[in-house]
Structure 1
Amino acid sequence: MKKVLLLLADGFESYEASVFTDVLGWNLYEGSKNTAISSVGMHKTLRCTWGYSCIPDYQLTEINLDNFDALAIPGGFEEAGFYKDAYSEEFLNVISYFNSRNKPIAAICVAALSLGKSGILTGRKATTYMYQDEYRLNQLKNMHVLVVKEKNIVVDRNVVTSASPATAIDVAFWLLEQLTNKQNVISVKRRMGFMLP
């Protein structure tokens, strides 16, 4: 069984988290049946960007990172307090741990800033939110990242970053492919209705 750690910061965007649970869940029932996902946070209750609450499966202090094969991180909003957790030492240490073992890391939208803050993107290609202005892109660039503006999804070795919530489902399918294979992803996409039978 391939296990994914869904790392949630307070103020995360629920849609960006849900794509991972849906794609990996569909795979568990309708695909290769070999993926599991656990939501992990640093608080017993997390508030999502749009105000409702979420209870993660585990607290970060309760898990052993060695038990996980990949890391998934949704973005969130500054106004909802996202960066307080997303820039914390504990959060950044998880990112560094997965990267040091060359395990897949999938970050949606501004979650790329956590990766940049951790130092794992230094000298590597990545992207982040860019649709209102280039404020977030410039933040990422100031973290010594080779920012790519021409693509909505950027893969550099074991890491994928993306430019907006619109890319979320494709990031989740990328992660599924890293854990299984391309043919399995096609099968799951068909089952979910993203491709014709």
Structure 2
Amino acid sequence: MKKVCLLLPNGFEAVEASVFTDVLGWNQITGDGTTEVITVGTRDKLKCTWNFLVTPEMHISELRVEDFDALAIPGGFEEANFYEDAFREDVLNVVREFNNQGKPIATICVAALILGKSGILEGRKATTYNLSNGHRQKQLADFKANVIADEPIVVDKNIITSFNPSTSFDVAFKLLEVLTSEENCNNIKRLMGFIK
């Protein structure tokens, strides 16, 4: 079984988290059955961007990176205090450790800024939220990432980043492909109605 840590900072966007639970959950039941998602929170109870409340399965203080095969992180809103938790040192250390172990890391939208803040994107290709005058992409560049501004999804070795919420399902499918196979991923896409 390949275990995916779905790391949830307070203020995350529920839709961006749900794509990982849905795609990898569909794989667990109707695909090759090899993926499991464990939600790991920065708090015992989390409030999403739009006030949806979530109780994660595990607190970040209990997380052992060696027990997981991949890391997934949704983005969130500054107005919902996303960066207050997202830029905490314990979150950054989790990101660094997944990267040090060469495990896949998949982010959606501004979650790439967490990777930038951790230092693992220095000199590497990545992207993040691409609207609002490119403010977030400039912020990512300030972390010394090589920002690919007009690509919806950027893959650099073990890291997957994307430029806005519209890419959410594609990122989750890319992570599934990395963890299983292109054939299995396409099967799940068919079963979920994304391809014929």
Task: Kindly report structure 1 stretches of 4+ aligned residues shifted beyond 2 Å.
Answer: none
Residues of 2 paired with 1:19 and 1:61: CA distance?
24
Residues of 1 paired with 2:175 and 2:130: CA distance?
22
Aligned partner of 1:116 in structure 2 is 116
Deviation at 1:150? Answer: 2.0
Deviation at 1:63? Answer: 2.7
Amino acid at match of 1:40: V
Residues of 1 paired with 2:66 and 2:90: CA distance?
16
Aligned partner of 1:178 in structure 2 is 178
Residues of 2 paired with 1:147 and 1:79: CA distance?
24
1:187 aligns with 2:184: no
Residues of 1 paired with 2:160 and 2:179: CA distance?
14
Deviations, residues 114-163 of structure 1 (Å, cap 9, x unaligned): 00000000000100001121110110000011011120110000001000
Q: Is the 8 A contact 2:47 2:53 kept in 1?
A: yes
Residues of 1 paired with 2:102 and 2:91: CA distance?
17
Q: What is the TM-score with the length of structure 2 in the denominator?
A: 0.99
Q: Is the 8 A contact 2:14 2:52 kept in 1?
A: no
Aligned partner of 1:50 in structure 2 is 50
SS at match of 2:40: strand
Aligned partner of 1:26 in structure 2 is 26
Residues of 2 paired with 1:63 and 1:103: CA distance?
15
Residues of 1 paired with 2:67 and 2:75: CA distance?
23
Residues of 1 paired with 2:50 and 2:80: CA distance?
8
Deviation at 1:195? Answer: 1.0
Residues of 2 paired with 1:186 and 1:134: CA distance?
33
Q: What is the TM-score with the length of structure 1 in the denominator?
A: 0.98
Aligned partner of 2:15 in structure 1 is 15
1:75 aligns with 2:80: no
Cα RMSD over matched residues? 0.6
Amino acid at match of 1:97: E
Residues of 2 paired with 1:109 and 1:129: CA distance?
5
1:100 aligns with 2:120: no
Residues of 2 paired with 1:131 and 1:162: CA distance?
12
Deviation at 1:52? Answer: 1.7
Deviations, residues 16-69 of structure 1 (Å, cap 9, x unaligned): 000000000000000000100000012110000001210001101123221100
User: Identity percentage over the alignment?
Assistant: 55
Long gaps (5+) in structure 2: none
Deviations, residues 43-96 of structure 1 (Å, cap 9, x unaligned): 110000001210001101123221100000000000000001110000000000
SS at match of 2:133: coil
Long gaps (5+) in structure 1: none
Aligned partner of 1:165 in structure 2 is 165
Aligned partner of 1:125 in structure 2 is 125
